[in-house]
Amino acid sequence: MQDNDALVSFIDDDNPVLTPDGAHSIAKTSAAPWRILIVDDDADVHSATVFGLAGNQILERALSFVHAYSAIEARSILSRESDIAVILLDVVMESEDAGLRLVRTIRDELGNSSSRIILRTGQPGYAPEISAIREYDINDYKTKSELSHTRLYTSLTAAIRAYDQICRLEASRRGLELIVQAGSELMGEQGLRNFASGVITQLAALIGVASDGLVCVHENVAGDEGEEAFLVIGAAGRFAPFIQRQLGEIADTRVTSSLRRCLTQRENIFGDGFIALYLPSQDDSTFAIFIEAAQAPQQPERDLLEVFCNNAALCAQNIKLVERLHQLAFMDTLVQLPNRASFIEAIDDCIELGGKPTHSIALIDIDQFAEMNNAFGHAHGDAMLIALAHRLIEYFGERTLVCKLSGDAFGLLGLSESIIPEFVRPAFSHPLTIHEVEHNLNVSIGYVRLCDTALDGNSALKDAAIALKAAKRSGVNSDATFSTTVGTEARERTRLLHLLKSAFDAERLFPMFQPQIDLASGRAIGFEALMRWRGEDGMMIPPDRFIPLAENSGMIVALGNWILRSSLLTLRQLHDAGYQNLRMAVNVSVVQFRDPNFIQHVEQALVASGIEARWLELEITESVAMMEANSVGQLLARLRALGVAIAIDDFGTGYSSLSYLEKLQADRLKIDRSFVASLEQGKDGGRIAALIIQLARQIGMTTIAEGIEHAWQASALQELGCEEGQGYYFGYPMPASALPAWLDQSLGSNKQTGATS
């Protein structure tokens, strides 16, 4: 909440000007006011801010105020309004970090990088760290006691200047995008229209005015200098209805006379409320731009406009440049093969010419290309792509169209009898020699018969991508052919992913906790946090269905951070309630480990919960442990230095290696439930469990077995030397609210009344 003394100081400072009725209002200026969003849970702060700034102008524009009294209300406003110049944001509202969390929402979720943010707080102890200010593009930070009228006005002016520049740059970027987009078809009518619209948008951004203007072309037709030679080829704003009409059809003589003079005398005209710019040309077609501007530009701006006109004229007139842009649009310059646009166009042509029943396509992707690129360098990777392009051309010849579709993906279009694994696979049977290093080619390939796909090239390529993903799920060097079943499964995964995102936003995901037990004493030593999802119909969606989707989409990073924070907060509650010496085990995926901010997220979760690092155990799979062993080892060493314990989950089910165990120096091995279920005499799983326990003992690690469902399994594991266990025999996964009752009823309760960890 705002300090009242600070409020009084702010109100008294500089005696701000009020409107006659004592209320704030928007000053009458020619431009729209700057919109300022005040986010604070104290109504007095809103009143004081408006009172102190009423009647002021910044950059000759008035101020307009929008009010939000919570972070949630502010998010709602910002999600639907995009013209907020500055956000005056309280750090502490619903929670101690509500303001900073809103900053993250503004920048990351809403994608708003333009609005400037000034943080304010009445509680200096909650000042954001420098890293937060740097990471989330915060314009300024002040305590409320610092913000006198003069200081607030100064900060606001700096922020609005920055916002104004960002908006102008963004408008200019949009104009440039339109020009580039028009480049490949500049000689066509549609291309000229896109080009002209882009020129207007870019010019308006350059001089800071609205995009009310038009572009006129003058064709010097022999023997005819009449009005029909002046054609409007681009128009925006209030002039939009005049596009593709003769200049003489415009009733505004100011527009017609200035453009005719500009084009015939070949000079720029700076009139009262407008600018007419001439675009020089070396052929018989000349262009001119008319745009409304309240003020005539000064000499430095005129020099800049002249450069702008020369550049725009070159873009419009240089036919060789147009041809080059067209070539770039349809060719991959690295390997000199047709690109994705050419491939789609070729499929469309094939279908249009009746080749759908007889032709197929294949989508080829090099397995583990990124890893090879990292190991040997990008120059080596480029050389491999060039060599592979030559191989494909040599192997398939003129019978099949070969294209490069993206980074390391190639496409084939040919007769169905040739686009089959038996014929395509031999192209990759011999290694490629790159810089005197031989590389065996492992590729995944997705096939589509055009008769099995939709009616255009885009759809066929999407179906090929679905087949390729199916091939990759089967492992390295695999093939898959698109079918209705494959397409249905892919669409179902997409549907499930959308539902997962909605469920996360709607808080239908929740943590459950399964007890972990010391087998010797029967005491509870901790819990493993498990993520669960209940659908809108009330049915539970199994983790093995949605966790892989979350990992493939990258959503697992947000989910993982959430489950980590939630779990540690639950553990904090247990410790505070007197249940001592309990740890929390949380699973970490490969994708989370690759997140450069992973360590920071762990540290933040520990700080937020107040839990000592020694009570947190992170469970990693063998796939994480095998991933770039040196970097993973360094990452785990940093975690262990914090005091966090490391467990290797599902040990023995994948590519187990003694060497990586020794390098990583984890604390605990988890024995997979499949080995526990095979403990009966004579089963291989029982022998494997015994070997894992002996191995762990030799290298100084403890073991925990999961999936224990019977007392005899617990006894057998204890006899083998396993120290810990979890499973339905001890307790089912349960919500946080049920943990104290379970701990009280269990023989292993370790509650210490009145104690804290």
Q: Please report which confidence band the pLDDT of residue 454 belongs to, taking 50, 70 and 90 as the band edges.
A: low
What CATH number is associated with residue 478? 3.30.70.270
**Residue of higher predicted confidence among 233 and 274:** 274
pLDDT of residue 219: 67
Per residue in 238-256, pLDDT (tens digit) is 888 888 888 888 888 899 9
- Does one domain contain both 629 and 666? yes
Cα distances (Å, whole numbers) of residue 605 to 7, 22, 210, 561, 608: 35, 48, 47, 8, 5
User: What is the pLDDT averaged over residues 174-186?
Assistant: 46
Residues 153 and 239 in one domain: no
Rounded CA-CA distance 303/321 in Å is: 25
- Which amino acid does the sequence have at 345? E
Predicted local distance difference test score (pLDDT) of residue 709: 93
> Which pLDDT score is estimated for 629?
59
What pLDDT does 52 receive? Answer: 84
493, containing H or E segment: helix 484-505
Between 405 and 122, the higher pLDDT residue: 405
Distance CA 444, CA 461 (A): 15
- Whether 32 shows a pLDDT value over 90: the answer reads no
Residue numbers of the domain that contains 392: 333-482
Give the pLDDT confidence of 361-417 residue by residue, as tens digits.
999 999 888 878 777 788 888 999 999 999 999 999 778 999 999 889 999 999 999
The pLDDT of residue 319 is 38
Average pLDDT over residues 32-37: 91
Check: CB of residue 317 under 8 Å from CB of residue 282: yes
720 is a domain residue: yes
What pLDDT, in 10s, does the model give residues 654-697? 555 566 676 677 899 999 888 888 887 555 557 888 888 998 89
DSSP string across 71-116? HHHHHHHHHH---EEEEEEES-SSSTTHHHHHHHIIIIIS---SSE
Q: Which of 266, 288, 322 is the last residue of a domain?
A: 322
258 assigned to some structural domain: yes
Structural domain contains residue 327: no
Residue 315 φ/ψ, nearest 5 degrees:
-65, -40
Strongest mean pLDDT among 219-223, 322-326, 610-614: 610-614
d(CA 636, CA 632): 6
Q: What is the pLDDT of residue 520?
A: 93
Identify whether residues 278 and 343 lie together within a single domain. Answer: no
User: Which residues are CB-contacts of 464 (< 8 A; sequence separation ≥ 6)?
Assistant: 361, 362, 363, 411, 446, 447, 448, 482
Report the mean per-residue pLDDT for the chain.
80
Count Cα atoms within 13 angstroms, Cβ side, for 369: 22
Same domain, 246 and 287: yes
Which candidate, 493, 561, 514, places its Cα nearest to that of 735? 514
- DSSP labels, 443-468: EEEEEEEGGGS-SSHHHHHHHHHHHH
Examine the domain organization and report whether 254 and 283 are in the same domain.
yes
Highest mean pLDDT (candidates 166-170, 182-186, 643-647) = 643-647
Residue 571 lies in a domain: yes
**What does the pLDDT read at residue 533?**
84
Is residue 273 within 8 Å of residue 292, measured between CB atoms? yes
The whole-angstrom separation of Cα 752 and Cα 575 is 9
CA dihedral 631, 634, 635, 641 (to 10 degrees): 180
pLDDT of residue 72 exceeding 80, the answer is yes
561 located within any domain: yes
Residues 345, 347: Cα–Cα separation, whole Å:
5
Among the residue ranges 211-225, 293-307, 401-415, 467-481, the one predicted with the least confidence is 211-225
pLDDT of 421 higher than 90: yes
207 and 154 part of one domain: no
Distance CA 140, CA 155 (A): 7
**Which pLDDT does position 73 carry in this prediction?**
93
* End-to-end Cα distance, the chain: 32
Does position 183 have pLDDT exceeding 50, yes or no? no
Confidence of residue 65 (pLDDT cuts 50, 70, 90): very high
Give the lowest-confidence range in 23-37, 410-424, 495-509, 633-647.
Answer: 23-37
Do 522 and 585 sit in the same domain of this protein?
Answer: yes
Higher-confidence residue: 579 or 147? 579
Q: Confirm if 344 and 458 have CB atoms less than 8 A apart.
A: yes
Q: What is the CATH number of the domain that holds 226?
A: 3.30.450.40
Confidence bin at 206 (pLDDT 50/70/90): confident
What pLDDT is stored for residue 205 in this prediction?
A: 77
Q: Which residues are registered as beta bridge partners of 65? A: 36
Domain identity same for 122 and 160: yes
Between residues 10 and 737, the one the model is more confident about: 737
| Inside any domain, residue 604 | yes
Closest by CA position to 306, among listed 289, 330, 321, 293:
289
Is residue 69's pLDDT more than 80? yes
Instruction: Report the alpha-carbon distance of residue 493 to residue 488 in Å, rounded.
Output: 9
Domain count, the chain: 4
CA distance 430 to 441: 7
User: Could you tell me if residue 77 is inside a domain?
Assistant: yes
The CATH number of the domain holding residue 696 is: 3.20.20.450
At 506-551, the pLDDT tens digits run 667 889 999 999 999 999 999 999 988 887 777 888 887 778 777 7
Query: 283 and 257, same structural domain?
Result: yes
Residue given tokens 């049915």 in the structure block: 539
**Domain-located, residue 755:** no
Q: Which of 109, 141, 168 is the last residue of a domain?
A: 168
Q: Do the Cβ atoms of 573 and 590 come closer than 8 Å?
A: no
Q: Average the pLDDT over each of 162-171, 554-563, 580-589 and give the range with the smallest value.
A: 162-171
| pLDDT of residue 11 exceeding 70 | no
Has residue 342 got a pLDDT over 80? yes
pLDDT in tens, 692-723: 899 889 888 999 999 999 999 999 999 999 99
Q: Which of 301, 322, 343 is the last residue of a domain?
A: 322
Report the range of poorest mean pLDDT among 186-190, 462-466, 616-620, 646-650: 186-190
Report which of residues 99 and 174 the model is more confident about. 99
Residues 152 and 10 in one domain: yes
Residue 51's CATH number: 3.40.50.2300
Which pLDDT score is estimated for 3? 47
The two beta strands, 432-434 and 437-439, are antiparallel
Question: Which pLDDT score, from 0 to 100, does residue 131 have?
Answer: 63
Pair (528, 475) in one structural domain: no
Same domain? 242 vs 121: no
